[in-house]
């Protein structure tokens, strides 16, 4: 029996062996929907399930429609004869990554004061849509199958979210906050990201109601808010069963957000104020089980990494993803990148960065992964693997870091039942990378295959089994 299964699996693999993984870097032009019970099998590679468990070697994952139906050692998992097979031999399979802090309206340009006016002068909404489409595709091709967008004008972001869900645009699955809620904010950033200023808690509650009614997936509580503001936002959001993510740095703000019942604490431990937070605050966060998303790598690490290797700014993949017009504008904005306003406090941030991250890793807090993807020089194509690498370098085990970016993030965003791990019943979001991310996190920068919702979106060949009859294959 065992041998029979092995032979069956092997035969399937041989049938597609001419197709090397990763040969097709572009997404399938017309991704064949796997709906209606269509079967897909990823066979041969090491499997990281998203749990903090040892890897499964020489594994197989079977997908039917958009769901995972089996996963385990390939000697034990039967590959259906009618499945499309993707050979993952010599590679690593893991759950699609989840980004809990991205911004589709930006894609690494150096300055908001010039980026948003440039968009307005080059097509306005049409250009904004184009930018978001590029960002969404970059994320997906980087293995990020789900992204929480934490700040964008309402209509455009909901529109791209829905178009991606309908399959009209190839991109990461988006959960969107729409405009963030803040007090006393101004300038190009506030305008470009569509920020809403409030001046009373009542107003904070009303804006939350309005956003929830418009169909946002969550609320972002941005800068300058009081304890009562947070309370009003949380109350309104929870009535609509959506979560609140707070943008907080200073101890007092973190304390307010925590006690007001904010669901996710963003940015804590990165830059801003001098680490560490008080023991009491960390203990209260840990005991409350409140998730933190440090967003460590942007600025503090990205700046230094760029100083060491400025060539990263001219990555030909960026040129290809952006197209000539946007690429030229981004290049122009980064000419003297070390002088940019965004990096003004980076000297201080680099001094604080290790203590900032380690205080949470060592505390046992629930930690997700988010990157502020799209901010200056923080490209969607690489932000998440950089963030994971920083956490591992700061002492987080690779297993925990990968779990954070997959299963734990899924729980944080309220999708723990559907996403984040490779096991029967979950939605089939799976990536295949070249190398062993348990040994070297940068293996996550070599994403060769992306399966989202049961559909091969990158690489793999998506080789269908031989049609059973002479019917024209379409």
- Residue 185 contacts residue 192 (beta carbons within 8 Å): no
Q: Count of CB atoms within 10 A of residue 238's CB? A: 15
Q: How far is the CB of 228 from Zn ion (least distance, A)?
A: 21
CB of 112 to Zn ion, least distance (A): 11
CB of 267 to Zn ion, least distance (A): 6
Considering the complex, what minimum distance in angstroms separates the CB of residue 99 from Zn ion? 11
Q: CB of residue 307 vs Zn ion: minimum separation in angstroms?
A: 23
> Which of 247/255 has CB closer to Zn ion?
247
Which residue do the tokens 């290797």 mark?
309
Query: CB 219 → Zn ion: shortest distance, Å?
Result: 13
> What number of other Cβ atoms are within 10 A of residue 73's Cβ?
12
In the sheet where 144-149 sits, what is the strand order? 97-102, 144-149, 173-176
Residues found near Zn ion in the complex (CB under 5 A) = 247, 372
Of residues 77 and 264, the one with the C-beta less far from Zn ion: 264
Is 58 or 345 the residue whose CB approaches Zn ion more closely?
Answer: 345
The CB-of-96 to Zn ion minimum distance in angstroms stands at 21
Q: Which residue is nearest to Zn ion (CB)?
A: 247
Please say which residue, 173 or 247, places its beta carbon nearer to Zn ion: 247
Cβ closest to Zn ion, residue 92 vs residue 378: 378
Exposure string for 79-94, b = 16+ CB within 10 A, e = fewer:
bbeebbbbbbeebbbb
Q: Which is nearer to Zn ion, 49 or 182 (CB)?
A: 182
Task: Give the nearest distance from C-beta 192 to Zn ion in angstroms.
Answer: 12
- Cβ proximity to Zn ion, 221 vs 334, nearer residue: 221
Q: Which is nearer to Zn ion, 265 or 388 (CB)?
A: 265
User: Which residue, 372 or 382, is less far from Zn ion as judged by CB?
Assistant: 372
Q: How far is the CB of 282 from Zn ion (least distance, A)?
A: 20
Compare residues 48 and 293 and give the one whose CB is closer to Zn ion: 293
Q: Give the integer Cα–Cα distance in Å for 169 and 374.
A: 19
Cβ at position 108, least distance to Zn ion in Å: 13
Report the C-alpha gap between 239 and 130 in whole angstroms. 34
């Amino acid at each position: 029996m065992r041998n029979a299964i092995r032979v069956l699996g092997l035969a399937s693999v041989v049938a597609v062996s001419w197709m090397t993984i990763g040969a097709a870097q572009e997404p399938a032009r017309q991704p064949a929907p796997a709906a209606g019970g269509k079967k897909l099998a990823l066979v041969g590679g090491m499997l990281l399930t998203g749990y903090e468990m040892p890897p499964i070697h020489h594994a197989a994952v079977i997908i039917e429609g958009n769901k995972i139906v089996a996963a385990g050692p390939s000697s034990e998992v039967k590959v259906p004869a009618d499945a499309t097979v993707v050979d993952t031999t010599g590679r690593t399979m893991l759950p699609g990554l989840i980004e809990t802090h991205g911004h589709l309206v930006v894609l690494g340009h150096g300055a908001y004061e010039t980026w948003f006016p440039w968009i307005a002068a080059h097509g306005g909404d049409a250009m904004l849509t184009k930018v978001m489409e590029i960002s969404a595709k970059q994320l997906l091709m980087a293995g990020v199958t789900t992204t929480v967008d934490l700040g964008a004008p309402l209509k455009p972001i909901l529109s791209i979210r829905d178009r991606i869900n309908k399959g009209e645009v190839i991109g990461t699955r988006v959960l969107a906050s729409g405009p963030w809620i803040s007090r006393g904010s101004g300038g190009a950033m506030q305008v470009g990201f569509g920020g809403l200023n409030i001046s009373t808690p009542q107003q904070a509650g009303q804006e939350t109601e309005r956003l929830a009614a418009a169909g946002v997936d969550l609320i972002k509580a941005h800068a300058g808010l009081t304890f009562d503001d947070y309370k009003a936002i949380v109350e309104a959001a929870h009535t609509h069963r959506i979560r609140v993510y707070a943008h907080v740095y200073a101890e007092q703000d973190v304390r307010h957000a925590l006690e007001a019942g904010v669901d996710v604490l963003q940015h804590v431990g990165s830059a801003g104020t001098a680490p560490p937070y008080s023991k009491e605050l960390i203990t209260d966060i840990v005991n409350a089980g409140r998730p933190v998303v440090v967003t460590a790598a942007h600025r503090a690490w990205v700046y230094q990494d760029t100083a060491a290797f400025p060539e990263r700014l001219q990555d030909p993949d960026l040129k290809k993803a952006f197209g000539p017009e946007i690429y030229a504008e981004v290049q122009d904005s980064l000419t003297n990148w070390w002088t940019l306003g965004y990096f003004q406090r980076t000297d201080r941030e680099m001094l604080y960065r290790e203590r900032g991250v380690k205080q949470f890793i060592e505390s046992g807090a629930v930690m997700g992964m988010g990157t502020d993807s799209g901010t200056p020089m923080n490209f969607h194509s690489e932000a998440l693997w950089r963030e994971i690498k920083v956490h591992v370098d700061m002492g987080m085990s690779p297993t925990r870091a990968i779990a954070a970016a997959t299963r734990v993030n899924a729980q944080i965003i309220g999708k723990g039942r559907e996403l984040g791990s490779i096991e029967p019943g979950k939605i089939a979001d799976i990536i295949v990378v070249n190398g062993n991310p348990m040994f070297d996190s940068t293996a996550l920068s070599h994403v060769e295959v992306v399966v989202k919702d049961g559909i091969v979106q990158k690489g793999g060949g998506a080789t269908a089994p031989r049609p059973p009859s002479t019917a024209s294959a379409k």
